[in-house]
Amino acid sequence: MNGQIVKLIRDKVEADFKESWTSNLSYHDFNHTMNVTDFAKKIAVGEDISDEELEILEIATLFHDLGYLTSYFDHEDRSSKMAEELLIQHNYPEEKIAKVKKLIIATKADHEPVTRLEEIIRDADLYNLASPEYAEYAQKLRDEWEFYLNNDDSDGKWIKENHKFLKNHEYYTETAKKIFGEQKKKNVKQLKNERKELKVDSGHLELNKNRSAQMMFKTALRNHIDLTHIADNKANIMLTINSIIISITMPLIASNIKNNPDLLFPTIILLITSITSIVFATLVTRPVRTKGQTSLDKIQSGSTNLFFFGNFYKMNLDIYRQGMKEVISDNNILDNAIVNDLYYLGKALGHKFSKLRYCYFIFMIGMVLTVLSFFITFIIV
């Protein structure tokens, strides 16, 4: 391996950091670059890569965050360009420069590695997830994002997002899993405990520990369901009454209109009353429109309820199972599902009774006007 070029690059990168680094880059400093380089070399040894590949990997890790010194955005592209310019100056082979650039670009957050070297550099770049000083690194990154990205997440949201990221993250190489696996599990557990503490401190419902609250929610849910049945029954009564009026009474009256033209106006009032009442009664009993599917992000945020069929009947079974695991494994999400169920039942019930009230009011006024108009008609005739 050409150790001279690697040493030259390391000295150049260190000099650039000393010259241009600011304290606002609290996480992406020269120590971070050297940590990534050291861990990349350790993982590479375990993955048994060649000396030539190790040289390319080490150079890429030294350059991978250099772009932060000029801009916080698109730093990978900037780092890649800076690496190319310096390596060309030292007559580094073009095919190796191309490989170095690809490895630097592979550190982008949304990049899916396609080679073993890309897997190694991505694993090494996230060594912090399995560090005993994870909390310290996370705080440095939080400070950095607050300055450059105006990120002002609350403690609860920050810990929740960190816990979610660590829990879902997997290292690519077997060597990284061996080196980082045990400590990473400890960090995930620590974040989980911190989330629980924050839930208690922030007034989390904790229905599983409050029997009175459980009983109140059960009673409220049952009352909502019973009232829904009552509203539907009342609407069905109105549908039946007005259907009878239209199908039986109207033909009888209509047959006498030719001989008694004065009956036309009362008949029109009666017809309008019955049709309008039927429309509102139908709106009361009409099923609520549902999408039939829910994203995992909404499930994890507790803003939906997977126990209601309207939120999952179009979902894939595997995704539904994954979502249910999220709900069952997190008491906060489970409590939110219960609250959501009660809330949306109440909203649906409110709409039903609102339309039912209009239906009965229209029917009452319409029948009074119909009787009065018939009475007036008979007096005039």
Decide if pLDDT at 143 tops 80.
yes
* Residue 204 predicted with pLDDT over 80: no
Q: Do 216 and 155 belong together in one domain?
A: no
Question: What's the domain range around 226?
Answer: 208-380
Q: Taking residues 236-262, report their average pLDDT.
A: 82
Residue 1: band (very low, low, confident or very high) from pLDDT cuts 50, 70, 90: very low
212 and 197, same domain (yes or no) = no
Which of 136, 166, 201 is the C-terminal boundary of a domain? 201
Q: How confident is the model at residue 258 (pLDDT cuts 50, 70, 90)?
A: low
State whether 267 and 190 are in the same domain.
Answer: no
186 and 229 together in one domain: no
> CB of 329 within 8 A of CB of 299?
no
pLDDT digits (tens, 9 = 90+) for 88-114: 999 999 999 999 999 999 999 889 999
Q: Give dist(CA 307, CA 304) in Å, integer.
A: 9
| 337 has pLDDT over 90 | no
Cα angle for residues 331, 332, 336 (degrees, 5° grid): 115
User: Quick one: 195 and 221 in the same domain?
Assistant: no
Query: Are 120 and 178 contained in the same domain?
Result: yes
Based on the domain organization, do 231 and 177 belong to the same domain? no
Among 275-279, 299-303, 363-367, where is mean pLDDT lowest? 299-303
Q: How many CA atoms lie within 13 A of 110 on its CB side?
A: 1
Rg value, the chain, Cα = 35
What average pLDDT does this structure show over 206-222?
Answer: 72
Task: Give tens-digit pLDDT for 155-190.
Answer: 778 888 899 999 999 999 999 999 999 999 999 999
Where is mean pLDDT largest: 75-79, 158-162, 210-214, 341-345? 75-79
Backbone angles phi, psi at 110, to 5 degrees: -95, 10
Say how many domains are in the chain.
2
194 CA to centre of own chain: 21
Residue after which a domain boundary falls, among 201, 230, 261:
201
- Residue 205 has a pLDDT of 54
Contact 367, 273 (CB under 8 A): yes
pLDDT-based confidence at 362, cuts 50/70/90?
Answer: very high
For the purposes of burial, counting CB atoms within 10 Å of the CB of 289, is it exposed (0-12), middle (13-18) or buried (19 or more)?
Answer: exposed
Contact 82, 66 (CB under 8 A): yes
* Distance set, CA 214 to CA 4, 28, 32, 217, 220 (Å): 70, 48, 49, 5, 10
Check residue 199 and give its pLDDT.
59
How many CB atoms within 10 Å of residue 70? 14
Distance between CA atoms of 85 and 117, rounded to whole angstroms? Answer: 22
Same domain, 154 and 228: no
Q: How confident is the model at residue 210 (pLDDT cuts 50, 70, 90)?
A: low
Of 245, 158, 132, 206, nearest to 254 by C-alpha is 245
In a shared domain, residues 158 and 213: no
Mean pLDDT over 265-287 rounds to 89
- The pLDDT of residue 342: 81
Domain boundary among 169, 201, 233: 201
**Alpha carbon separation from 31 to 14, 324, 328 (Å, rounded):** 9, 42, 41
* Dihedral (CA of 96, 101, 104, 110) sign: negative
Q: Are residues 245 and 341 in the same domain?
A: yes
Is there a contact between 234 and 358 (Cβ–Cβ < 8 Å)?
no
CATH number at residue 20: 1.10.3210.10
Distance CA 353, CA 232 (A): 9
Residue 176 sits in the same domain as residue 215: no
* Cβ pair 206, 335 in contact under 8 A: yes
| pLDDT, position 278 | 92
Q: Concatenated DSSP letters for 157-217? A: HHHHHHHHHHHH---SSHHHHHHHHHHHHHHHHHHHHHHHHHHHHTT---GGG-HHHHHHH
Same domain, 40 and 182: yes
